[in-house]
Amino acid sequence: MVYDIQSNSDFQSGATLVVKVPEDEVDKKALYTILAEQPDFLLPFRHISVDGQIEFTYQIGNRSKLTYLSGNRSTGDYADLWFSILHPLLNCDDWFMNPYSFVLKPEYLYCDNNKAIYFVYIPSKRACSDYETLKSMVTEVAKQNHVTDVTLENKVVWAIQDFSLAEFLQMLRPYRGYAPQNAAPYGQQAAPGQPQAAQYPAAPAAGAPPQYSAPQPQAAQPPIQPPPPAKKQAPAPVPQAPPPPPPVVSGRADDINIVFEDAKDRKRDKAEKASAPKKEKEPKAPKEPKEKGGLFGKKSNDQQEIIQGAAVMPPPQAPAYAPPPAYAPPAPQAYAPQGMYDDGATQIDLREAAGGPKLRYVGNSGHPPMISVPVAAGGIFSIGRFDPAAGAGQSSFEFDKDTKAVSRRHAVIERNAEGFVLVDLNSSAGTFINGQKITPNTPVRLEKGCRISFGYSGADYTWEE
């Protein structure tokens, strides 16, 4: 880096970057062209002359560092991200800019809510970057951002080995879905209903519109013949019901299966029965004493009755009803800081959290009781809300998907040489320190014991180091 970049912040103007360039080193042709029509991929800036130097002040505003917004991306978003970063380097000569006068470091790339990328450009005659710096920046961005399409990510990794800006963008073009006619402007999607291009030409020269190569016509295919009709099969025979059995007349055992012809035969049989001598009755055997049994002291009937020549068993008795045992809920267990906390999206090792920097919950609702912040010097720890559509991995720690007033990318804790700072990522509900809402994208020093609120729905924590 040729020029020193200083970071400033206040509650009125927010976060700013300041660069001082000797007046004789300023590229005035590029400076005046940019001021007349500022490109949409540069951070807005103002300049003043101070003691033979030009002081450039860059306004960050509602833009966040790209390193704060790293994570998993869809295929289209991943390709658009690379185009947003690299395409301005091929198109910058329209403003007489030098590609190596861009500050090509990941920590100086910014992104807004519309996913547009913004650069810090120093209009000087001396370049502040080179090819190795560009390749190093591309490598770091690839490490911090991943895509759901593993094949595409492998292509990017291999393309970085022997990096060529034009070939890299050419490789990514099919993943953006360019329309063949009336292609959407850079960074925007094609109009609905437009057909997609089948082929893509070579990378155009700087400032030249993309050329479209019409798809080759395909040979006519022979008409498809309908299949021959299937042969009809004879229907299967319908099974006939068996004939009903002959009627059975109930009566004595010796009268079963006897069919009477007419009424005369019935009268003759009655007369023969009346004239037959009566049999003497045999003396009955003495009755045995009854045995008490059964559920209520009645005699159990184990005999079988003969009805119409068939044995009939007594109907089964239902078992006695026994009510199920009463449900006893498990006794509540007291919270212990040993073990793992799992909210469905993020696991926290509470044993590690007990000894390092952490956020301790204030309250008794369902929020995690402790959030460990294992971040090394120069590193970041992002906090957000789990998004089922995007999947896990968008932030270092993610609240439950139903957590109110917490954005998908809400805030970042960064560790620098002075300690820990908190940065709000332009969240919808804001971030508060001791009840005061902090300015988005402006780092605020964290003091031990201060209270941090992510939104306004109870996600309140105290900072411990």
In sequence order, what are the beta bridge partners of 363? none
Q: What is the mean pLDDT of residues 368-391?
A: 89
Which whole number is the average pLDDT over 315-333? 52
pLDDT at residue 329 greater than cutoff 80: no
Structure pTM? 0.62
Identify the band that residue 365 occupies on the pLDDT scale cut at 50, 70 and 90.
confident
Res 154 pLDDT > 70: yes
Residue 239 to residues 234, 235, 236, 242: CA-CA distances in angstroms?
15, 12, 9, 9
Give CA–CA dist 50/26, Å, rounded.
13
Amino acid found at 210: P
Q: What is the mean pLDDT of residues 157-173?
A: 94
At 79, the pLDDT band (50, 70, 90 cuts) reads very high
The top-scoring range by mean pLDDT among 77-91, 316-330, 386-400 is: 77-91
Percent of the chain with pLDDT over 70: 60
Q: Are strands 460-464 and 358-361 parallel, antiparallel or unpaired?
A: antiparallel
pLDDT score of 82: 96
Q: Is the Cα torsion angle 385, 390, 395, 400 positive or negative in sign? A: positive
Q: Structural domains in the chain?
A: 340-464 (2.60.200.20)
* Contact present, 34 and 95 (Cβ < 8 Å): yes
Query: Would you give the DSSP letter of residue 26?
Result: B
What band does 168 get if pLDDT is binned at 50, 70 and 90? very high
User: Residue with structure tokens 């380097």?
Assistant: 89
pLDDT at 59: 94
Give the amino acid at 425: L
pLDDT(330) > 80: no
List, in sequence order, every residue forming a beta bridge with 5; answer none if it has no partner: 19
- 34-43, 284-293, 433-442: the lowest-pLDDT one: 284-293
The single-letter DSSP state of residue 440 is T
Please name which of 7, 136, 144 lies closest in space to residue 66, comparing C-alpha atoms: 144
For 97-137, the pLDDT digits (tens) are 999 999 999 999 999 988 899 999 999 999 999 999 999 99
